[in-house]
Structure 1
Amino acid sequence: MFVGRQTQLARLNTLLRHVREDEDAKPGKALLIRGRRRVGKSRLVEEFVDRIDVPHLFFAATGRPVRDELRLFAEEVAASNLPGAAVFNGVHISNWDAALRLLATTLPDDGSVVVLDELPYLVAADNGFEGTLQRAFDRELARKHVLLIGIGSDLAMMEALNEYGRPFHQRATEMVVPPLTPAEVAGLLDLPAADAFDAQLITGGLPLICNEWPVGMPLMDYLQQAVGDPTSALLVSGERSLAAEFPSDVQARTVLQAIGSGERTFANIGRAAGDIPQGSLNRSLTALMAKRIVAADKPLSTKPASKDKRYRIADPYLRFWLSFLGPHLDEIERGRGDRVHSRIRASWTSWRGRAIEPIIREAVERLAPPVILDEHKVPGVVGGYWTRTNNPEIDIVVGDRAPNTKHVIALGSIKWLENAPFDHHDLGTLQAHRTQIPGAAVDTPLIAVARSGTAVDGVVHLTPENLITAYEP
């Protein structure tokens, strides 16, 4: 079942319409689509080409040697509905320059779509591919009424393809395919707002996982069903993503597992990863952050402390998978998913309390201010604050900018428990911490994000229902 993505589909249709109607000498256009693995980029484009009534080619690279990719490309073109596809029957192509020039001869005059999926594989396998693609686009493809779409999950590489100094610079527009939002998850699974945020922690908003979650099923019931099936998308998506990202980099996976187990500081990650040397740990963390798999957070205040950097898994689903599923796949495969489920149930509340923080901060940033603090009319950025000793540690800090905040607009606390509202004790703790954060004043507004409501006055109270409105159109 295909869900959501109406904004992206509309944009694709608009680009194709411009390609077909453009009377310039070079009507062809290029689009680079990026997004994390298994977020549904290829599925989106497949849905698009299925809905349109124009000839198209959809080629997915495999990471094989260049000669094999060229052979598969020729076979895919020959099997496509491009009007000149027959020229590829039985042809032997020795390089991408010849392949793309020949492709141009197959394209019609009234509009077509050419998709190169897993574009980073082609770039990695052939150092000259970017230049070849640029020349083919400038000399051949751009003169055709064709929409050329490149898709990739290597976020850093896909961003770099369009940067200044690279061959394809300024030749393509860009599109980012995000995960489904908590509001989309709520609508798809028919869950109340609070449960939808919890579901976001498990699925990461990945459509493939959401589609196997029965509508209306409670979270723990779905988990019990999923861990009982070794082929569940919830189980296999994590391993497939890691295998694609790190086919041979064992050390990066070890560091990732250390962060996934809950370690957040540089020193603790290094110890948990087997006391690897600092230089090696730095390289692994740099690579993980470049791939947008790991995020590094800094305390947000008027006196930022760069040495107090903390690391986390950027993808909620992968964080859940590394914490509960990946280390215990052997149990699931031998039919003891019940043990995994019991382990999740026992640790869920404490694990969720930390894991929900980045998602809540994103939602608050979408709302804050002026929506929640009317007297402040700047957009606002949201982070957290901590010291090396975690005294204090503040869940929410709203500043006027990042990373060098000039004014702390508000600060707050997250209490994500089913049966415990934000109470006087929580308020007293937050008021005491307000005096310890650089840039805050005694009258700095306070925010309480509480799953079960609040029993006190004097705070801006945000419920799950408030937060989910941040994702509405």
Structure 2
Amino acid sequence: MTFYDRVEERDALASAFESPGSDLSVVYGRRRVGKTELLKEFCADQPHIYFLAAQEAENRQREKFTDQVAAHFDERVPRIDGWDEVFDYLGEKLRTEEMVVVIDEFPYLVEENDSVPSYVQGFVDEQLQETKSMLVLCGSSVSTMESEVLGHESPLYGRRTAQLDVQPFSFQQAREVITYDTADAIRSYAITGGTPMYLTLFDYEQSLAENVRSQVLSPSAVLYNEPEFLLRTELRNPARYMSILEAVALEHTTPNEISGATGIDAGPLSKYLQTLRRLRLIDREVPVTASGEKSKRSRYRVADEFLRFWFRYVEPNRSSIEEAPDVVYDGTIAPDLPTHVATTFEDVCQEAVWEGIRRGDVEPYSEVGRWWYGEDEVDIVGLAPNDDRILLAECKWTSDPVGEDLVESLQAKAANVRWGTGDRDERFALFSKNGFVDGLEDELSKSWSLFSLTEIDEILSPD
């Protein structure tokens, strides 16, 4: 797979390795997000030992790790009876050569023996610190990495010198991969999301429809069963979690709505939602003007665009896809896709606002997010408390140009957004897939900004 981006992450690892003394770096993030490719790219220019743990018996894990160390130093494999001896052997070798040692999928070792973090702690304290080498612990089980490596109760707490929480690509980053024009790039991102593996499975010489048919709707394609595979690697009984994800993808977003759609009572549902949040499969949102965890106006959304697409279109139609995938695409997906993409477009526009702020092209706002109350919603609201300034913006993924009606609607809703003082500074913005009616910009005051796809693309393009 071609390696894209991750410049900041590579630089952070390189900086840690080049700093004086030894290093313990922790790299974690959701599955398929590109952690292994990042580490391989970083290690390519360094002397290194790379060990990929597997879900197998503890003695085989020890044997394979010892084999890797011995092979690097071109030695006969020593007899090893415990993890303490494994790390003693590694420590002995690191006294002779400065290098990077990567243990990928570290949670698999912990799964077989929960004392492994203690053995690593002993190695770090007693042997690694006497060298100039770097140990990297990497894992896809975010909950295990956060509790067993980074958590307060972990023997390794406080010993890390670098920490990377590897995230999926933003739309701006994914644009390096997606070579479609702007409109189709947004549509494509609404299907693959920012997970590097999913992005690179699409052939951008083909149409988006062809990619969906061949890479998602084909029972032999990797992505056809990918979400089910991901859930089964994290959860013993994924059925209820899948029903929750499907409900949220189908826009049942409040706890009451999710409970009604799934038949799961409020008490158990709360625990399931917490687990899905911990696994980074769903996000909890509150209005940008609300106070975080205390707000009772929370909504949930599937955290990954591909999972949102899959649970919206693939999971509910599995039987039909097995028989007639083209009929499902033409009759179900294609007509509804603009509705699905509209949510992604709001996220892309929010990215553009943040990028505009970073570049100094948009006035600064400390918080940017969605707002809703009752029947009223505003796609993007930016808050600048120190300046008593508020930004209110709408994003329209429609086939018609935006006109005066949306201007009047946004102005009316602005009065219902309770924030700031009575004479706050109000700024407005409109983002539109198909531009604006002739003369609209001339009719508006300087407090309004209009962004077509061309302007959005320019903002999100490299400087």
What TM-score do you get using the length of structure 2 for normalisation?
Answer: 0.87
Percent identical pairs in the alignment equals 25
**Does the 8 Å contact 1:84/1:106 carry over to 2?**
no
Distance 1:385 1:183 in 2: 23
Distance 2:234 2:267 in 1: 21
- The amino acid of 2:159's aligned partner reads R
Distance 2:84 2:320 in 1: 50
Question: Which residue of structure 2 aligns with residue 72 of structure 1?
Answer: 64
The Cα of 1:383 is off from its aligned counterpart by 1.2
Q: SS at the partner of 2:163?
A: strand
The Cα of 1:236 is off from its aligned counterpart by 3.9
Q: SS at the partner of 1:422?
A: coil
- The amino acid of 2:414's aligned partner reads R
Question: Which residue of structure 2 aligns with residue 121 of structure 1?
Answer: 108
Change (3 A) 1:415 1:249: same
**Structure 2: gaps (5+ residues):** none
Distance 1:407 1:370 in 2: 21
Change (3 A) 1:99 1:328: farther
Q: 1:222 aligns with which of 189, 211, 214?
A: 211
Aligned residues: 448
Given the alignment of the two structures, is residue 42 of structure 1 paired with residue 36 of structure 2, yes or no? yes
Q: SS at the partner of 2:76?
A: helix
Question: Which residue of structure 2 aligns with residue 427 of structure 1?
Answer: 407
Given the alignment of the two structures, is residue 436 of structure 1 paired with residue 412 of structure 2, yes or no? no
Q: 1:86 aligns with which of 76, 92, 105?
A: 76
Given the alignment of the two structures, is residue 5 of structure 1 paired with residue 9 of structure 2, yes or no? no
Q: What does the per-residue CA deviation read over 1:194-239, in whole Å, with 9 as the maximum and x for residues that have no partner?
A: 3322222111122222222223433223213324533434334323
Change (3 A) 1:248 1:106: farther
Distance 2:83 2:172 in 1: 43
**Does the 8 Å contact 2:190/2:340 carry over to 1?**
no
Q: SS at the partner of 1:114?
A: strand
**Does the 8 Å contact 1:399/1:406 carry over to 2?**
no
Given the alignment of the two structures, is residue 450 of structure 1 paired with residue 438 of structure 2, yes or no? no
Question: Which residue of structure 2 aligns with residue 58 of structure 1?
Answer: 50
Distance 2:237 2:174 in 1: 34
Question: Which residue of structure 2 aligns with residue 237 of structure 1?
Answer: 226
Given the alignment of the two structures, is residue 411 of structure 1 paired with residue 392 of structure 2, yes or no? yes
Q: SS at the partner of 1:445?
A: strand
Given the alignment of the two structures, is residue 392 of structure 1 paired with residue 379 of structure 2, yes or no? no
- The amino acid of 1:179's aligned partner reads P
Q: What does the per-residue CA deviation read over 1:160-180, in whole Å, with 9 as the maximum and x for residues that have no partner?
A: 423445321232211132223
- The amino acid of 2:397's aligned partner reads W
**Does the 8 Å contact 2:58/2:112 carry over to 1?**
yes
Q: 1:135 aligns with which of 122, 129, 134?
A: 122
Q: What does the per-residue CA deviation read over 1:310-345, in whole Å, with 9 as the maximum and x for residues that have no partner?
A: 00011112111211223334544x463213322210
Distance 1:410 1:357 in 2: 15
Distance 1:272 1:121 in 2: 35
Change (3 A) 1:285 1:464: same
- The amino acid of 2:383's aligned partner reads G
Task: Point out the more displaced range, 336-345 or 215-224.
Answer: 215-224
Question: Which residue of structure 2 aligns with residue 185 of structure 1?
Answer: 174
**Structure 1: gaps (5+ residues):** none
Given the alignment of the two structures, is residue 111 of structure 1 paired with residue 93 of structure 2, yes or no? no
The Cα of 1:8 is off from its aligned counterpart by 2.5
Change (3 A) 1:312 1:204: same
Distance 1:36 1:466 in 2: 32
Q: SS at the partner of 1:104?
A: helix
Change (3 A) 1:416 1:372: farther
Q: SS at the partner of 2:219?
A: coil
Q: SS at the partner of 2:176?
A: helix
Q: SS at the partner of 1:87?
A: coil
Question: Which residue of structure 1 aligns with residue 15 of structure 2?
Answer: 14
Task: Point out the more displaced range, 312-321 or 301-310.
Answer: 301-310
Question: Which residue of structure 2 aligns with residue 277 of structure 1?
Answer: 265
Distance 1:357 1:101 in 2: 53
**Does the 8 Å contact 2:46/2:100 carry over to 1?**
no
Given the alignment of the two structures, is residue 337 of structure 1 paired with residue 325 of structure 2, yes or no? yes
Distance 1:361 1:329 in 2: 33
Change (3 A) 1:228 1:202: closer
Change (3 A) 1:189 1:44: same
The Cα of 1:249 is off from its aligned counterpart by 4.2
- The amino acid of 1:11's aligned partner reads A
Q: For 1:288-437, what aligned pairs fall within 5 Å after superposition?
A: 288-301=276-289, 306-332=295-321, 334=322, 336-342=324-330, 343-368=332-357, 371=360, 373-374=362-363, 378-387=364-373, 389=374, 391-400=375-384, 407=388, 409-417=390-398, 419-437=399-417
**Does the 8 Å contact 2:103/2:138 carry over to 1?**
yes
**Does the 8 Å contact 1:181/1:471 carry over to 2?**
no
Q: What does the per-residue CA deviation read over 1:68-114, in whole Å, with 9 as the maximum and x for residues that have no partner?
A: 43233334444x42x165234xx342x32222222222336332221
- The amino acid of 1:35's aligned partner reads G
What TM-score do you get using the length of structure 1 for normalisation?
Answer: 0.86
Distance 2:256 2:5 in 1: 42
Q: SS at the partner of 1:205?
A: coil
